[in-house]
Structure 1
């Protein structure tokens, strides 16, 4: 999607994608990754998700990437944190305690700037992008994270019934993007249509949330 689309969503408070709770997929599956107590978790296109505060409360360090300055400002305000922004090539970098957020264009972010990553938690990034953008995004995440394991959430529904975002990402496409680098394991699958008012009103007949675990293949 164009930058202007997402900037407009935040400016107009059109935040149907923002969950008012910590995602159950994260709470249920994170222990299985066996992360060290001070592991660093990367959230691409993080918005102001409550998952960040939960991760910080578990003792993890968190680094996010987010286009909207409104989202980042609200994230830190809701955490009661007073960040000290600095400039980076793609925008502004906000830091406070164990949280760092690169606000600006994620494609301008480099692995050197991001630093080490122990887990990528992609809860709403891949599904926010139309098909034409997803190959570039997945290649970039691989380069940024050096193949760190991922906890990733996708959706499956009939695109003829509604256009995204969030967009459907079928299993075959996910494996095209990540299958050469990762062993891909389905963790859970649930029809969440009853929790998705916009999709129900649009006449979508099924809206399936799928959680995946991606582990780097060993030669």
Structure 2
């Protein structure tokens, strides 16, 4: 997918995917990661999600990656924090209050630049990529985090009924991307109330990925 698609969405404020509170599935299932307070969790394609504030308020450090500078400017304004900004490789690092956000193309983010990642919370990343990019993304995520455990939220629906994003991720596809590296547990599968975007029936699935 062309990066300009996401830049335009943020510049036009077409961000229906942005939630007005911490994701209820994160709040309910985060404990499954068994992550000690003070650990660092990576949130790919984070936007200005309120999940970041929720994680920090519960004692965690957060690293994020986001293509849109507009989104990250809004994130820090809404957090009431003044970030320090530095250039790291092809990315900018915005840091304040136990938060480090890497602004730019996630594929330019290396393990060295990212630093330690004790876990991954993927709510809106895998589902944001079209099919031809998801294998590359999953492999990149494994590489830069050292196969950190994941809490992942995705949608499963008939892709013929609606164009993504969010794209449909079947259970079989999750296994194709991750089963060689993780033990996979589908910990929740619920119907999307009213259908996805009001257009088609869908399941919202929560996966726990633990190192083999």
TM-score range, shorter chain: over 0.9
Aligned residue runs from structure 1 range 69-148, under 5 A = 69-148=69-148
CA distance in 2, matches of 1:172, 1:31: 25
Post-superposition shift, 1:125? 0.1
1:90–1:106 Cα contact (<8 Å) kept: no
2:154–2:169 Cα contact (<8 Å) kept: yes
Partner residue of 2:157?
157
Partner residue of 1:207?
202
CA distance in 2, matches of 1:173, 1:81: 39
CA distance in 1, matches of 2:184, 2:91: 33
1:56–1:62 Cα contact (<8 Å) kept: yes
Cα pair distance change 1:24/1:195, threshold 3 Å? farther
Partner residue of 2:59?
59
Q: Give me the TM-score of the superposition, normalised by structure 1.
A: 0.95
1:68–1:104 Cα contact (<8 Å) kept: yes
The SS at the match of 1:41 is: strand
1:90–1:103 Cα contact (<8 Å) kept: no
Partner residue of 1:26?
26
Post-superposition shift, 1:84? 1.0
1:42–1:121 Cα contact (<8 Å) kept: yes
The SS at the match of 1:163 is: coil
CA distance in 2, matches of 1:142, 1:32: 19
The SS at the match of 1:154 is: strand
Q: Give me the TM-score of the superposition, normalised by structure 2.
A: 0.98
CA distance in 2, matches of 1:156, 1:33: 23
1:39–1:61 Cα contact (<8 Å) kept: yes
Partner residue of 1:9?
9
CA distance in 1, matches of 2:105, 2:90: 5
**Which of structure 1's runs of 4+ aligned residues deviate more than 6 A?**
none
CA distance in 2, matches of 1:3, 1:193: 30
**Any idea what the Cα deviations from partners look like across 1:162-213, whole Å, max 9, x if unmatched?**
11000000010110100000000001011114274xx21x3x1x12100000
Q: Could you list the runs of 5+ residues in structure 1 that have no partner in the other structure?
A: none
